[in-house]
Structure 1
Amino acid sequence: MLDRASLTRLPANIHLPRFDTARLRPGILHLGCGNFHRAHQVVATQAAIAAEGEDGLRWGIASATMRRPELSHQLARQDNLYSLLTREPHGTVVSVMGAIAEALFAGDERADLPSRLADPETRIVTLTVTASGYYLTADGRLNADAGDIRADLRRGTPRTALGILAAGLGRVRAQGGAPPVILSCDNVAHNGGTLAQAVMDFASMGGDERLAGWIAENVRFPDTMVDRIVPATTPQDIEDARHALGGVEDAIPVPAEPWFQWVIGEFDGPRPRWEAHGAQFTNDVATFERAKLQMLNGAHMLLAYIGALAGLPTIAEAATDPALGRIAARFMREEQNAGVAFAPDDITRYADALMERFRNPAIVHQAERIGRNGSAKMAARVLAPMRANIEAGRPTTGATLLIAGWIRWFALHEQDALDLAVADPHAGTLRRICAEARHDHRAQAEAFLAMEDVFGSPLPHHERQVAAIAGMLRRLTDESVPDVLRDIVR
């Protein structure tokens, strides 16, 4: 099994931590210890620790799983070590990651995450809890009716990230201490400011307006933009890790693409030297964020929803398809670039780089996984540029196709005819809409777009958009999807 004792037995071509992992001290608390965190923030922090030498040992990560205790237990069994499989198009580079000092489970009261946040040694808190973990309405405010939020407000030990942050910051305030810097690393528009508002909303809902005001005045929530494609771990990844490690077993390897990007809003105070792994600090995160949310994440959604309907279950297969690949590239360059303050040549280069990444055959990114929680992603990734394009009189063919494809997923799911699991915070409502209007595409489109907590206020020329989406939905239902795609690119 991969652990500290096994490091000396690993093959010479394995990249190892350049510091004693047993001497790490937690200076970072992380909420959401999934694959993305372990292929992104951990990687940059490991490079930062190595670059700082002895001083870097203060930046160990106390990483908490939010829903899966099994992962924290397995990390503990492996001395918090695991292998990163960087999937190049023509080979795999294997590195052992060792920047996690402690693995925790948020549901374990002994972990006491609010107290860890309030520990003076904790200088930074990072989060990767996905967009749904923020419990936001379409206007970016905390959804007071969310069951998990209501439960957190009732119970003594919070389980949501927002509840943990509010409770921990409350203890910092009570102690008269200096709060940590809190960095959202999720694909949420203006993620720092949005998270700050959600935490203040949570505090207010709990009856502590003074805490909300203190947070506003004292706690820094810089915006960030993160980017790396990190698929779910498969049995093949586990086998590949065992082979690369010379027979040493790693139950929790993480595959990832070579690309890495982390753009962070400038802030004062101590922090790891994340620049050692290419992180950028800037006062203009918004430009990078908008390009990523719209061009990358929006195109990802298009490839996932339409690719699955066309019988293309992975992003690489969908992006390589002659028709769908052209539609996705055009979608990025002609629709999803709305409001992105890049020069035209930079837009083209970025779109080309994205398509190259999407087509990487070594990255098995399932459409089912990318398609999760679409209702939490739709407003920022698709509707914002769509509104801008409608107002400017520009075509919205790709957005119309994407939304129609998303509705079709739920229509098929409602009929038990979709060979994919559908995970969405509004899944029950969306299935019910499709059941009540099973043969009426316009009624389905109208009911979906009427959900203002998903789509926001009505689109410009709303009836025209409903008709266009209903028409595309009808085609995706009645015609061969590959034929529809080929017709679109003619």
Structure 2
Amino acid sequence: MLLSRATLELVPETVHTPRFLPEKLRSGLLHLGCGNFHRAHQVTATQAAIGQQGVAGLDWGITSVTMRRPDLAQSLSAQDNLYTLLTREPTGTVASVMGAITRALHAGDPSADIAAELAAEGTHIVTLTVTASGYHLRADGSLDPDATEIVADLGQSRPRTAIGILAAGLARVRTQGGTPPVILCCDNLPHNGETLRGAVLDFLALRGDDALAGWVADTVRFPNTMVDRIVPIPSADDREDARRFLGGLEDRIPLSAEPWFQWIIEDFEGKRPFWEAHPGTKFVSDVDVFERAKLQMLNGTHMILAYVGALAGLGTIAEAAADPALGTIAARFMRQEQTAGVALPGNETDAYARDLMARFRNPGIVHEVERIGRNGSAKMASRIIQPMRENLMAGRAVTGATLLIASWIRWFALHEQEALEIALVDPRADTLRQLCAEARDDHAAQAEAFLAMESVFGPPLPDHDRQVENIATMLRRLTEEDVGSLLRSLAH
């Protein structure tokens, strides 16, 4: 039997279940980007809020939209939108049935009018987790007007991108004379609310809709947020563990997550769930310090563990962080380079760094380096180049950033030679592979060509030629030396 509303009463008492009847929920939230992270993060906080608020909380069900995966929407619907979340503690697993999603839709379904869902009277908040590449931004944070999907959406009545859907939905709200929902970006972008607002306005400018752009600028709120939870790709082990916890019921879409949970939201007025019911959720006046610490210290260090770890034959973040040499390099990179501009008090910075390395080493979280390494060109500027630039201007060493960038280039060089054993996913993959093909075996030329891409790296770095030379030298060493031996030498 499948997990469903009809079988929910069969779930053993050892499993946490919703403190409300899922069939009583009404949708007050629209989410774009129904994926693993959303199901382990925003849904978790919303379920806690509904349970805490009682009858009043029943207005906060979630209409969740998959942008690219019709199979997930279908699987959720088949289970009445219930699924199992397995919280992987280092010493064991805690199972919970999640029931805050009221409907699961696919953006590509001709019968699903997502813009109308946004404009519905009961929709008070729109949240998004479409990944950094899903916004089609340039390195400076503005919308890329040449992005294929953005160009296509400019002429669509049923847009497919998050930006296009927001523009179409807000246009309907204005036409109907309604109150626009609050738009909460929950992706790892610098100043994500402000950035998303700018991208929507850029889109409307491309479409020539000055009246709507002015209305959006004056009336729609885009608070900044910061989200933090490690959620690996669901595995066969997750399905087997879910079946065991559920007493034999089948769950086709369980997922696991680490115990850590954080959601920092810029305070805003208006209707909202009592998200603070979930520990780790906090409304603040300024998200910036939390956002920058997370983007640089967590996400940036994730990147070095992924890119270097893959070259060293390490398949997961936990394996990479536990490796004596790479773990030492990553911890040093995090604390000495990635704290540039992070305004946490010194003792808090140290504690956060220790907590992060412990989280990375959690063996219960199988986070593949291949997954973390995706879409590097969309992440490089904010997570790596910004602190690198500040360190260079202050005269501080950037050895970790140099290793990271060289390792990333090496991924494309190996892929171009059909010698990379993992998948390479990046919005600029074809261009970057071509750069490696044109400069095959010429490490200086490869480094120079990559760093010349201002859409990825921004303007030239301080002492730019020296940085190109250092990256080229590291790229040569990664090519010619045993990576494990090289890391052991760099760790000392």
> After TM superposition, is the score higher than 0.5?
yes
Task: Give the aligned partner of residue 46 of structure 1.
Answer: 47
Q: Which runs of 5+ in 1 are unaligned?
A: none
Alignment of 1:287-326 (within 5 A): 287-326=289-328
1:200 and 2:198 aligned: no
Task: Give the aligned partner of residue 457 of structure 2.
Answer: 455
Structure 1 residue ranges (4+ consecutive) displaced by more than 4 angstroms after TM superposition: none
Give how far 1:157 is off: 0.7
Task: Give the aligned partner of residue 335 of structure 1.
Answer: 337
Give how far 1:98 is off: 0.1
Structure 1 residues 174-196: Cα deviation after superposition (integer angstroms, max 9, x where no partner): 11111000000000110000000
Task: Give the aligned partner of residue 411 of structure 2.
Answer: 409
Task: Give the aligned partner of residue 181 of structure 2.
Answer: 180
SS at match of 1:362: coil
SS at match of 1:272: coil
Write the distance in 2 (CA, Å) between the matches of 1:475 and 1:346.
36
Write the distance in 2 (CA, Å) between the matches of 1:108 and 1:460.
48
**Amino acid in the other structure paired with 1:314:** T
Write the distance in 2 (CA, Å) between the matches of 1:186 and 1:210.
28
Task: Give the aligned partner of residue 105 of structure 2.
Answer: 104
Alignment of 1:105-144 (within 5 A): 105-144=106-145
Structure 1 residues 83-138: Cα deviation after superposition (integer angstroms, max 9, x where no partner): 00000111110000000010000011322111111111100000000000110001
Write the distance in 2 (CA, Å) between the matches of 1:477 and 1:345.
39
Alignment of 1:340-379 (within 5 A): 340-379=342-381
Task: Give the aligned partner of residue 443 of structure 2.
Answer: 441
Write the distance in 2 (CA, Å) between the matches of 1:429 and 1:269.
45
Structure 1 residues 389-439: Cα deviation after superposition (integer angstroms, max 9, x where no partner): 000000000000000000000000001101100000000000001111111
Task: Give the aligned partner of residue 220 of structure 2.
Answer: 219
Write the distance in 2 (CA, Å) between the matches of 1:326 and 1:212.
49
Write the distance in 2 (CA, Å) between the matches of 1:62 and 1:381.
31
Write the distance in 1 (CA, Å) between the matches of 2:174 and 2:13.
49
Write the distance in 2 (CA, Å) between the matches of 1:6 and 1:331.
49
**Amino acid in the other structure paired with 2:283:** F
SS at match of 1:4: coil
**Amino acid in the other structure paired with 1:305:** Y
Write the distance in 2 (CA, Å) between the matches of 1:346 and 1:98.
35
Percent identity reads: 67
Structure 1 residues 158-215: Cα deviation after superposition (integer angstroms, max 9, x where no partner): 0000000000001111111110000000001100000000011111111201111111
Structure 1 residues 52-83: Cα deviation after superposition (integer angstroms, max 9, x where no partner): 10010000000000001010011000000000
Give how far 1:154 is off: 1.9
Structure 1 residues 374-393: Cα deviation after superposition (integer angstroms, max 9, x where no partner): 00000000000000000000
Task: Give the aligned partner of residue 402 of structure 2.
Answer: 400
Give how far 1:354 is off: 0.1
Structure 1 residues 268-318: Cα deviation after superposition (integer angstroms, max 9, x where no partner): 001000000021000120000000000000000000000010010100000
SS at match of 1:271: coil
Write the distance in 2 (CA, Å) between the matches of 1:374 and 1:2.
37
**Amino acid in the other structure paired with 2:409:** I
Write the distance in 1 (CA, Å) between the matches of 2:54 and 2:244.
31
Write the distance in 2 (CA, Å) between the matches of 1:204 and 1:214.
13
Task: Give the aligned partner of residue 71 of structure 1.
Answer: 72
Write the distance in 2 (CA, Å) between the matches of 1:301 and 1:213.
38
**Amino acid in the other structure paired with 1:444:** Q
**Amino acid in the other structure paired with 1:481:** V
**Amino acid in the other structure paired with 1:336:** Q
Write the distance in 2 (CA, Å) between the matches of 1:131 and 1:463.
29
SS at match of 2:111: helix
Task: Give the aligned partner of residue 483 of structure 1.
Answer: 485
Write the distance in 2 (CA, Å) between the matches of 1:384 and 1:200.
25
1:241 and 2:242 aligned: yes
Structure 1 residues 3-50: Cα deviation after superposition (integer angstroms, max 9, x where no partner): 011111111100000001001000000000000000000000000001
SS at match of 1:364: coil
Write the distance in 2 (CA, Å) between the matches of 1:408 and 1:79.
45
SS at match of 1:393: coil
**Amino acid in the other structure paired with 2:191:** H
Write the distance in 2 (CA, Å) between the matches of 1:218 and 1:467.
49
**Amino acid in the other structure paired with 1:479:** E
Write the distance in 1 (CA, Å) between the matches of 2:463 and 2:118.
48
SS at match of 1:192: helix
Q: Is the 8 A contact 2:235 2:255 kept in 1?
A: no
Deviates more, 1:20-29 or 1:4-13: 4-13
Task: Give the aligned partner of residue 89 of structure 1.
Answer: 90
Write the distance in 2 (CA, Å) between the matches of 1:42 and 1:432.
41
Write the distance in 1 (CA, Å) between the matches of 2:371 and 2:190.
20
**Amino acid in the other structure paired with 1:154:** G
SS at match of 1:92: strand
1:425 alignment partner, one of 412, 424, 427: 427
SS at match of 2:205: helix
Write the distance in 2 (CA, Å) between the matches of 1:304 and 1:244.
32
Write the distance in 1 (CA, Å) between the matches of 2:424 and 2:262.
29
Write the distance in 2 (CA, Å) between the matches of 1:343 and 1:483.
36
SS at match of 2:6: helix
**Amino acid in the other structure paired with 2:251:** D
Write the distance in 1 (CA, Å) between the matches of 2:459 and 2:235.
40
Give how far 1:155 is off: 2.0
1:16 and 2:17 aligned: yes
Task: Give the aligned partner of residue 151 of structure 2.
Answer: 150
**Amino acid in the other structure paired with 2:122:** E
Give how far 1:240 is off: 1.1
Write the distance in 2 (CA, Å) between the matches of 1:193 and 1:330.
32
Alignment of 1:219-298 (within 5 A): 219-278=220-279, 279-298=281-300
CA RMSD of aligned residues (A): 0.6
SS at match of 1:109: coil
TM-score using structure 2 length: 0.99
Give how far 1:462 is off: 0.1
Write the distance in 2 (CA, Å) between the matches of 1:423 and 1:469.
22
